[in-house]
Amino acid sequence: MGFYKIIGHQGIKLQITNSIKLNRFSHAHILVGENGIGKSMIAKEMAMKVLGKSEFKQYVDIVEFKVPKGKKSIGIEEVKNIIEETNKKPYECDKKVIILYNSDKMTEAAQNALLKTIEEPPSGSFMVLLCEKLDGILDTIKSRCQIYKFNRLSQKEMVVFLKNKFPDLPKEQVKSVLAFSDGIPGRAEKFISDSFLREIRDTVISMLKGLNDNDLNSSLKFSTYLFNMKDQWQEILTCVLSYIRDVLIYKETGNEELIINTDKFEDIKIMGEMFSFNKLNDIINIVKDTKEKLGRNVSPALVFDSMLVKMQEV
């Protein structure tokens, strides 16, 4: 594929390319960012550059490890396999790259077991750890790795990504995809391919419009739906904020062209009449608080119930 074909992350790509060219490439790296943001593509391109390969395919000296099926974490047994593989000599040339996905899912004991290999890797061996958050990585490991933090793509970069990946995507759908993806290419791909994500948009609209009924039981009927979709909480809350953003803009300007969710414009108008500016801002703060709690693994059932009650009360 080549770095030049990966949209965004220019600074990271340049830093990696220069370090390899100047023979200053660290033996251990951490790529941190949200799922779907492009970490795995960058990791694979890093590995290919290290091996001096240009054709995009599977190479025996690029070894990938993931959380085993049926497990929620990477334990000592898995790390033993990683260490064993790292200590094997490269097969094709004099370099080998180990890519470890979801490295923040390693148990503390597993990370401690891997530490020595990261500190003193075999000659020609490189390790790339991918994670969503650095909080789950021990400081002793972080201090021995080159860390790259991935930011969300800009609107312009996302437009380029969609044009390249989905050239036949109707123009009227592009804005909706941009709103839902929130700068994350993988989320855009999911939205286009998965019908249940489009269902989320419709359900969130119904939920927000129902807040005007002043009927708590009516609002709480969505609680079961939200709990059943708890693994998609980021998508749900991103969708809520996208609609509220559109309602705020419509109330301020009345300009339909500035609306992102153009296919829901009639619903946006209705909510513009329903909600005051204060209530819209209160909803934004409630959603931010909900995000923070879910990010700390607070019970989704309690968090969603609380969110719906607070939205109804403001």
Residues 133, 210 within the same domain: no
Q: What is residue 250's DSSP assignment?
A: H
Alpha carbon distances (Å) from 291 to 176, 284, 294, 307: 21, 11, 5, 10
Comparing CA positions, the residue from 129, 87, 81, 80 lying closest to residue 105 is: 129
Residues 21, 91 within the same domain: yes
CATH number, residue 122:
3.40.50.300
Residue 287 contacts residue 241 (beta carbons within 8 Å): yes
For the chain, the residue count is: 314
* pTM score, whole prediction: 0.77
Q: Is the pLDDT of residue 82 over 90?
A: yes
Helix %, strand %, coil % of the chain (to 5) = 65, 10, 30
Last residue of a domain, one of 149, 184, 204: 149
Q: Is the pLDDT of residue 78 over 90?
A: yes
In a domain, 177, yes or no: no
Q: Is the pLDDT of residue 170 over 80?
A: yes
How confident is the model at residue 153, as a pLDDT? 95
CATH number, residue 238:
1.20.272.10
Radius of gyration of the chain (CA): 23
Residues 220, 139 within the same domain: no
Residues 69, 199 within the same domain: no
pLDDT tens digits along 234-249: 888 988 998 999 999 9
pLDDT tens digits along 94-140: 999 999 999 999 999 999 999 999 999 899 999 999 999 999 999 99
Residues 115, 56 within the same domain: yes
DSSP assignment of 298-313, as one string? --HHHHHHHHHHHHHH
Question: Which residues form the domain of 79?
Answer: 3-149
Last residue of a domain, one of 114, 149, 184: 149
In a domain, 93, yes or no: yes
Residues 138, 263 within the same domain: no
pLDDT tens digits along 141-154: 999 999 999 999 99
In a domain, 268, yes or no: yes
Alpha carbon distances (Å) from 14 to 17, 18, 46, 146, 155: 5, 6, 11, 14, 21
pLDDT tens digits along 257-303: 888 888 788 999 999 999 999 999 999 999 999 988 988 888 888 88
- 204's CB contacts (< 8 A; 6+ apart) are 236, 239, 240, 243
Alpha carbon distances (Å) from 155 to 28, 149, 175: 32, 19, 10
Paired with 130 in beta bridges are 31
pLDDT tens digits along 202-230: 899 988 988 876 666 666 678 888 888 88
In a domain, 158, yes or no: no
In a domain, 306, yes or no: yes
Residues 7, 141 within the same domain: yes
Residues 10, 141 within the same domain: yes
How confident is the model at residue 285, as a pLDDT? 94
pLDDT tens digits along 1-36: 567 788 999 999 999 999 999 989 999 999 999 999
In a domain, 84, yes or no: yes
How confident is the model at residue 214, as a pLDDT? 65
Last residue of a domain, one of 149, 168, 202: 149
Per the structure, how many domains does the chain have? 2
